[in-house]
């Protein structure tokens, strides 16, 4: 490059251009063919931290380019120089330059080639803009977007966790390995303490803090339910040093069902380490964590309630089938004990709420010493009347009374008469070992026949209306069990009196005693059937609401699975759908039980009309899957009608058809045919199944009799009642190994 061509940048001809370039912040550099600086403007020199004179003549690449890319840029420069095309040839690229203090600044360059008068390339003119901040902003935005993308994907991982501990471990790994926080801690609220559950990085030397503490950033996050950022902890009056050398701390509460479950806490040894973007990321993570915890708790709650309902069903049937007074009441307390309460006390009460003898106190989970303490320190009926009065209304949860020990009134009133708990506060969650929970056992007419007291919950949690729902369902059954047990006791006493008379009037009373015994047996059978009907109606009614809730939740879960189908892998999706299907199958099974119970417990009212038998049978077969190894033959004349209530008789036919399928596990044939005989219609259901033993045929239509592993024994009993409500009869013929035939006889209306 000639001296004139270089000096032109130093003359007034380009002053206006140079001023403009300095004003807009552009760096201008002229290099010769060797890469030495022949010209640089003031802005460029200042940007590098030198004067213009200090830069002119120096090698641009050896002095102002980072060593790691020096060779690469020299190669690029050589290629540019070797390019033909003259002054109109432009080249664009981006690279960092090295300032005097060692800082790197990213420049976007536009390069123009210079030619001599004879057409030779003699150097380059490079004009550059500082894009360092733009690059940093782009990198930060890209990093934030990547982290957001990770969090959305991470929600699936959290929701697949099988325990709270597993959720904590996933979160701590996500914080450190993916989001890049060096020091992270997960804390959980347990009773009145905030405890560390897991951490990464610096080891804490404070592992728990009381929630009533006046200091602590994590405590502040719990109390305010807000995100707390401190970028200079040494000057923060709320900061408590739990890890040595921390200068910045970010705390985000995990809020589950409107309550703070715990805190996500990240820390740094740098001042001003956390930004609002960090806070937003952790708030999103906390929300995903809360959702995963809530889903896990809901799943466990549903499983627990299902198990409780199944247990209550089992014990209800056992209680009805137990004649001994004390054995019946013992079944009641054992049922409640099995639902997660370590100690259960059921005390029988007279009309004044007095307990007459120690035998009227039935317990589960208590030692002999504890039983003796309760008897010796029992409260009189007048005290219990007050405890069940409106004065204690504030402590009611449904039918139960929950008295927390933290209440000053409870502490002062019940301090001496309460049985000491076996649990310590460390073994519970938010239930205090001296909390009280009791409920009256009330008959439908309002009479109180007993008091139920329970404590020491296995899960260590305070009771909620939702958690107590299965127990509330059982209170009425317990009251009826007591009433029926007392009636049985009175009946037994009457028997003893009759036996005393029989000693003196043996000959005369023999016949009378036989009649009385028959009457007694009939009374017991009648009472048992009446109780079955009453309990069946109650159970059917009370199970309907929780069943609807479970059904609704299953639909919600199914919709959620469909919505996330494209966000999870096939294996996970299949697993999720499988779990949903299993839940729906169990709901259908429970619903069938409820229908049996309701049908048996309520009065059957029919409204007959002409029903096309062929259409009815085909409808049943289309809505109930026929096993592949079973052939169904329907041999009914066309336009064959019966006089029946369509829905009721459909229930009967469906039950018989399903029983036939179940009786042919290895396959077979079910033949359905009908005929009219004088003033009645006969419908036959004949299978080639395993048959029914002769000793079971007479019991087949009795309530609660079943030979199936799963079943209430009410299906055929309900069928018999429906057929009899039509003024018809149901018969059965069977032979082991050859099959069974059900015959239903219905009257024909003229």
- β-strand 630-635 against 668-677: which pairing, if any? parallel
Give the residue from 621, 623, 651, 739 showing the smallest Cα distance to 688.
Answer: 739
Q: Following DSSP, what letter does each residue of 238-284 receive, concatenated?
A: T---SSTT--EEEEEEEEETTEEEEEEEEEESSTT---HHHHHHHHH
CA distance 254 to 172: 14
Tell me the C-alpha distance between 379 and 383, whole Å: 6
Q: Would you give the distance in Å from CA 483 to the centre of its chain?
A: 39
Query: Could you report the per-residue pLDDT of 122-173, keeping only the tens digit for each?
Result: 778 888 888 766 766 665 566 665 665 666 666 677 777 788 898 898 888 8
**pLDDT tens digit sequence for 72-94:** 888 888 887 776 544 445 567 78
**How many Cβ atoms are within 10 Å of 46's Cβ, its own excluded?**
14
Whether residue 316 contacts residue 476, with contact meaning beta carbons closer than 8 Å, is answered with no
* pLDDT attached to residue 688: 93
Strands 104-115 and 90-98, sheet pairing: antiparallel
Q: Which of 96-100, 187-191, 323-327, 430-434 has the lowest mean pLDDT?
A: 323-327
Listed residue (213, 217, 212, 222) closest to 232, CA to CA? 217
Greatest mean pLDDT among 109-113, 175-179, 372-376, 706-710: 372-376
| DSSP per residue, 432-474 | -TT-EEEEEEE-TTS-EEEEEEEEEETT-----HHHHHHHHHH
Residue-level pLDDT at 535: 64
Q: Which long-range contacts (CB under 8 A, 24 or more apart) does 138-147 make?
A: 140/277, 144/277, 144/281, 147/178, 147/179, 147/281
465-504 and 506-563 are packed helices; what angle lies between their axes, rounded to 10 degrees? Answer: 170
Strands 729-735 and 668-677: unpaired
Between β-strands 193-200 and 183-190, what pairing exists: parallel, antiparallel or unpaired?
A: antiparallel
In this prediction, residue 340 carries a pLDDT of 84
Q: What is the mean pLDDT of residues 602-625?
A: 87
Amino acid 17: pLDDT: 44
Position 20 scores a pLDDT of: 45
Pick 167 or 713 by higher pLDDT: 167
Considering only CA atoms, which of 368, 348, 370, 344 is closest in space to residue 360?
A: 348
Q: Which residue has the higher pLDDT, 413 or 505?
A: 413
Distance (Å, whole) CA 169 – CA 440: 45
3-state per-residue secondary structure call for 505-574: CHHHHHHHHHHHHHHHHHHHHHHHHHHHHHHHHHHHHHHHHHHHHHHHHHHHHHHHHHHCHHHCCHHHHH
CA 597 to chain centre: 29
What is the mean predicted confidence (pLDDT) over 12-22?
A: 47
- Using CA atoms, how far apart are residues 676 and 641, in angstroms rounded to an integer? 10
Return the pLDDT at 706: 63
> What's the rounded mean pLDDT across residues 243-259?
88
Q: Are 18 and 28 in contact (CB under 8 A)?
A: yes
Q: How many CB atoms lie within 10 A of CB 274?
A: 20
User: Cα separation of 714 and 594, whole Å?
Assistant: 10
Task: Sketch out the chain's domains with CATH numbers.
Answer: 3-130 (3.30.450.20), 139-297 (3.30.450.40), 321-504 (3.30.450.40), 609-747 (3.30.565.10)
Q: What is the largest CA-CA distance in the chain?
A: 152
The fraction of the chain above a pLDDT of 90, given in percent, is 25
Distance CA 612, CA 640 (A): 6
DSSP run (H or E) holding 484: helix 465-504
- The residues that bridge with 123 in the sheet, in sequence order, are 32, 114
For 748, which DSSP code? P
pLDDT tens readout for residues 642-651:
999 999 899 8
Most confident of 28-42, 133-147, 311-325, 568-582: 28-42
Closest CA to 703 of 602, 596, 594, 603: 596
CA dihedral 318, 319, 325, 330 (to 10 degrees): 80
Give φ, ψ of 742 to 5 degrees.
Answer: -100, 135
**C-alpha span between 264 and 227 (Å, rounded):** 10
pTM: 0.40
Q: What is the pLDDT of residue 3?
A: 44
Residue 732's pLDDT is: 92
Give the C-alpha separation, 646 to 611, whole Å: 6
Task: Provide the 10 A C-beta neighbour count for residue 178.
Answer: 14
- pLDDT value of position 162: 86
> What pLDDT digit, counting tens, does each position of 416-452 carry?
667 888 888 777 878 888 899 999 999 888 899 999 9
Higher pLDDT, 329 or 146: 329
Q: How confident is the model at residue 263 (pLDDT cuts 50, 70, 90)?
A: very high
What's residue 94's pLDDT?
81
Instruction: State CA 557 to chain mean position distance.
Output: 10
Torsion of CA 199, 203, 207, 209, to 10 degrees: -90
* Rounded CA separation 245/266 (Å): 13
Of the two residues 568 and 724, the one the predictor is more confident about is 724
Average pLDDT over residues 263-275: 89
């Amino acid at each position: 490059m000639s001296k004139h061509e270089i000096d032109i940048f130093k003359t007034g001809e380009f002053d206006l251009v140079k001023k403009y370039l300095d004003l807009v912040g552009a760096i201008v550099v002229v290099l010769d063919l060797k890469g030495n600086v022949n010209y640089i403007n003031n802005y460029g020199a200042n940007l590098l931290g030198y004067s213009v004179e200090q830069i002119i003549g120096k090698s641009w690449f050896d002095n102002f380019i980072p060593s790691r890319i020096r060779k690469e840029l020299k190669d690029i420069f050589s290629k540019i120089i070797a390019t033909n095309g003259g002054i109109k040839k432009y080249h664009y690229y981006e690279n960092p330059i090295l300032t005097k203090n060692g800082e790197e600044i990213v420049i976007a360059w536009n390069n123009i080639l210079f030619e001599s008068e004879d057409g030779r390339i003699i150097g380059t003119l490079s004009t550059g803009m500082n894009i360092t901040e733009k690059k940093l902003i782009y990198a930060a935005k890209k990093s934030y977007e990547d982290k957001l993308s990770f969090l959305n994907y991470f929600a699936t991982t959290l929701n697949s966790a099988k325990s709270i501990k597993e959720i904590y471990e996933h979160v701590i790994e996500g914080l450190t390995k993916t989001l890049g926080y060096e020091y992270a801690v997960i804390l959980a609220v347990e009773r009145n303490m905030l405890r560390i559950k897991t951490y990464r990085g610096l080891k804490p030397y404070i592992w728990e803090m009381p929630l009533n503490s006046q200091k602590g950033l994590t405590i502040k996050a719990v109390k305010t339910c807000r995100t707390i950022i401190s970028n200079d902890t040494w000057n923060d009056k709320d900061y408590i040093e739990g890890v040595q050398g921390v200068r910045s701390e970010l705390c985000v509460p995990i809020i589950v069902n409107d309550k703070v479950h715990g805190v996500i806490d990240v820390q740094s040894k740098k001042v001003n380490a956390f930004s609002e973007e960090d806070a937003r990321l952790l708030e999103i993570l906390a929300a995903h964590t809360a959702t995963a915890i809530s889903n896990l708790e809901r799943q466990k709650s549903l499983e627990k309630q299902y198990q409780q309902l199944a247990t209550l069903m089992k014990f209800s049937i056992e209680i009805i089938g137990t004649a001994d007074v004390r054995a019946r009441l013992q079944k009641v307390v054992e049922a409640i004990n099995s639902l997660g309460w370590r100690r259960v006390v059921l005390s029988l009460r007279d009309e004044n709420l007095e307990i007459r003898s120690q035998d009227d106190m039935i317990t589960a989970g208590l030692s002999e010493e504890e039983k003796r303490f309760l008897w010796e320190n029992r409260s009189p009926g007048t005290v219990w009347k007050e405890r069940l009065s409106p004065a204690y209304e504030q402590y009611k949860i449904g039918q139960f009374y929950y008295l927390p020990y933290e209440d000053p009134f409870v502490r002062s009133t019940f301090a001496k008469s309460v049985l000491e708990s076996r649990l310590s506060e460390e073994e519970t969650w938010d239930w205090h070992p001296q909390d009280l929970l009791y409920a009256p056992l009330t008959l439908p007419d309002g009479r109180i026949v007993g008091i139920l007291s329970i404590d020491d919950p296995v899960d260590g949690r305070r009771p909620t209306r939702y958690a107590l729902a299965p127990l509330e369902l059982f209170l009425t059954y317990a009251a009826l069990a007591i009433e029926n047990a007392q009636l049985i006791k009175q009946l037994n006493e009457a028997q003893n009196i009759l036996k005393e008379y029989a000693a003196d009037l043996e000959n005369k009373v023999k016949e009378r005693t036989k009649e009385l015994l028959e009457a007694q047996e009939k009374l017991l059978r009648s009472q048992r059937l009446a109780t079955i009907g009453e309990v069946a109606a109650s159970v059917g009614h009370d199970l309907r609401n929780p069943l609807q809730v479970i059904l609704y939740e299953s639909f919600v879960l199914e919709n959620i699975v469909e919505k996330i189908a494209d966000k999870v892998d096939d294996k996970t999706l299949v697993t999720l759908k499988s779990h949903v299907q299993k839940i729906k199958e169990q709901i259908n099974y429970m619903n069938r039980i409820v229908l049996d119970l309701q049908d048996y417990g309520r009065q059957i009212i029919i409204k007959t009309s002409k029903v096309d038998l062929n259409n009815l049978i085909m409808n049943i077969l289309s809505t109930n899957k026929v096993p592949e190894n079973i052939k169904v033959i329907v041999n009914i004349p066309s336009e064959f009608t019966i006089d029946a209530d369509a829905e009721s008789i459909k229930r009967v036919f469906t039950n018989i058809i399903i029983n036939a399928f179940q009786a042919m596990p290895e396959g077979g044939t079910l033949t359905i045919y009908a005929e009219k005989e004088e003033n009645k219609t006969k419908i036959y259901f004949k299978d080639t199944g395993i048959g029914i033993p002769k000793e079971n045929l007479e019991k087949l239509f009795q309530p609660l009799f079943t030979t199936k592993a799963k079943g209430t024994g009410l299906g055929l009993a309900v069928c018999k009642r429906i057929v009899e409500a039509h003024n018809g009869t149901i018969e059965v013929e069977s032979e082991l190994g050859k099959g069974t035939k059900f015959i239903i006889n219905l009257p024909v209306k003229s």
